[in-house]
Structure 1
Amino acid sequence: MNINKICILGAGTLGSRVALQSAISGYQVSVYDIHQKSLDFSLKTMEKILRQLEKAGELSEEEGKMALKRITFTMNPLEAVEDADFINESVTENPELKKKVWKQFGEIAPERTIFTTNTSYLLPSMFAKDSGRPAKFCAFHFHDVFYSRIVDIMPHPGTDPDLIPLLEVLGRKLNQVPVLVKKENPGYIFNTMLMALIGAAGKLKTRDVAEIEDIDKSWMVNFHMPMGPFGILDSIGLETAWHVTHNMPDAASQAFAKLLKTYIDQGKLGEKTGEGFYKYPNPSYRDPNFAK
């Protein structure tokens, strides 16, 4: 089938990036959220990214303006799914909330619409039945979109195999590198590896082995990386990391979730709020002298 209109459910950090890349790639896009504040923030996020892309010479100002014209922001679910060929959901990592969302949109989306979830750690089989069309349901998980250009395709046992090549083509059209996760795995491929790093960093901090900056320095200097695990957490969003860790049963994950919650309760969600483990827009790890 031809995909012409893409609907994004959830106007958060990642949903906004997926929506913008879809529009840059020439698709008509609708962005849905239940909060107008989130939709306003989404537009500001997109405008900021476009300025960065223009400054880097990757996109002209006119191309950026045309991309924004392809995007509709709405709090109306019926308007969001009107003529939608493809849905990608990026709502909060809460299983019950996601089930509710998929039940709602499964009832109102066009029959042809393909359903995909952008969940970071949950499994598509948890929501496929709620959507009402499990054969057309698959995980289609993005990372940063503009810098980290992997998109994970992870079917559940009931996904129609014919959906996979279609998603591979779409991934490439969205300027991503598609990778296939052959069977369901919490965290896909990269996040499984990343959580091992983040989990180890969390243990070092919660067990008072070392301070945050020293943990990051050790990783950055040894592997010649621009940021360490706590800088990475700031870019991901501390609330996203909390939703993952607090659902894990082991004591180390629970201790780390408790630490993350202290930041979240203060409104320190990471780079998007101006402060997490570091302060932005000029975190100390970006100082040339930080790793010396």
Structure 2
Amino acid sequence: MSTLDKITVLGGGVLGGQIAWHSAFMGKTVVVYDISEEALDLCRGAHGQYAAIYLAEIGASMQDVADARARLTYTTDLATAVAGQDLVIEAVPEIPEVKTKVYAEMAGLLDAHTLIATNSSTLLPRDFAEATGRPDKYCALHFANLIWALNVAEVMAHPGTAADTLTQITEFAIEIGMVPIPVHREQHGYVLNTWVVPLLNAAQTLVTNGVSTPEDVDRTYMIVNRGAPRGPMGTLDVIGMKTAYDVLAYWGVHNDDQQMRANAAYLKANFVDQGKLGLQSGQGYYSYPEPAYADPDFLSVPQISSASDIAARAMLT
């Protein structure tokens, strides 16, 4: 059993909010930190949505939900957020400069025993270890979106991570119902995003370059992966357009990948700049709570009367 009972989540965005809610639901006392009251209000609203999901989908009781809410607090004061905590999970934007700044600001505020884990999607913990001020107490713990159903938590060290840190972090993951996935070597993207990011980038390329519609990209994926609840474009909505943009923009520049930069620009212009953040805001490639890919007829063989319209879309322009 771990001793990590008092948790702080830095960043109440899409995945940070999920981590905070689920940890509280599983019995941890959780503080959510974000930089503005507006961001915290969005997180509170998301927690209301998660409460309904947990009641409907995982058999939670009203008392379970009330108990989870009672274990959650929210603050814009970093010192208050981290004082006396056992574990801080960093889930701020996937921008190296932002992460480094947060770690540097937090370093002098932590108790001696506090562990830190990054939920970074693609960046290595070694890049921020020194900024934490306690590299031996720092590693990666990366969660998948829809944490209540897709309960993966990847554990990755950097060269200075202590063995006891990894053990406690792994125990914590198990205590909150995750399947811990040990990453044997340092790897950008860990296990999950090493294959997810190329998949999503390839799917976005088809849309950016006008090869296919988002719906047909997802139909193709869902037909050849029967039982998949959504395709790549729907997955972008779940991840959140801001996170997807940050990842593609960073790696597009880092790898001098023109197509990836074009994909990032497409997401920014068509979604991020318009406040269409995906599932979080109710609008991305699909409209929520009833996205088209959830319609029973989404994968059906079309009526023969639609053949001419489909064929017209296949005409080269």
Range into which the TM-score falls when normalised by the shorter chain: over 0.9
Picking from 146, 149, 174, the partner of 1:147 is 149
Picking from 279, 284, 288, the partner of 1:280 is 288
Gaps of 5+ in 1: none
Please show how residues 69-218 of structure 1 align to structure 2 within 5 Å.
69-144=70-145, 145-218=147-220
Q: Which residue identity is paired with 2:262?
A: A
Gaps of 5+ in 2: 301-317
Flag the structure with larger Rg.
2
Q: Deviations over 1:4-59 (max 9, x none)?
A: 20011111121111111111221111111111111122122112211221123521
Compute the TM-score of the two structures, normalised by the length of structure 2.
0.89
In the TM superposition, residue 162 of structure 1 has moved relative to its aligned partner by 2.2
CA contact (8 A) 2:117 2:138 kept: yes
In the TM superposition, residue 115 of structure 1 has moved relative to its aligned partner by 0.8
Partner of 1:220: 222
Partner of 1:230: 233
- Of 160-169 and 120-129, the range deviating more from structure 2: 160-169
CA contact (8 A) 2:20 2:32 kept: yes
Partner of 2:264: 257
Q: Which residue identity is paired with 1:23?
A: A
d(CA) in 2 for partners of 1:281, 1:48: 11
d(CA) in 1 for partners of 2:53, 2:268: 31
- Of 204-213 and 224-233, the range deviating more from structure 2: 204-213
Q: Does residue 239 in structure 1 map to residue 242 in structure 2?
A: yes
Partner of 2:10: 9
In the TM superposition, residue 183 of structure 1 has moved relative to its aligned partner by 1.9
d(CA) in 1 for partners of 2:102, 2:292: 39
**The residue matched to 1:7 in structure 2 has which SS?**
strand
d(CA) in 1 for partners of 2:29, 2:214: 43
Compute the TM-score of the two structures, normalised by the length of structure 1.
0.96
Q: Deviations over 1:232-282 (max 9, x none)?
A: 101100111111111222122112112111121111111111111111221
Percentage identity across aligned positions? 37
In the TM superposition, residue 203 of structure 1 has moved relative to its aligned partner by 2.2
**Length, aligned pairs only:** 292
d(CA) in 1 for partners of 2:117, 2:12: 15
d(CA) in 1 for partners of 2:95, 2:4: 28
d(CA) in 2 for partners of 1:98, 1:279: 31
d(CA) in 1 for partners of 2:229, 2:267: 22
- Of 126-135 and 53-62, the range deviating more from structure 2: 53-62
**The residue matched to 2:181 in structure 1 has which SS?**
strand
**The residue matched to 1:272 in structure 2 has which SS?**
coil
CA contact (8 A) 2:143 2:151 kept: yes
Q: Deviations over 1:165-191 (max 9, x none)?
A: 211111110110001112221111011
Cα-Cα RMSD: 1.3
Partner of 2:22: 21
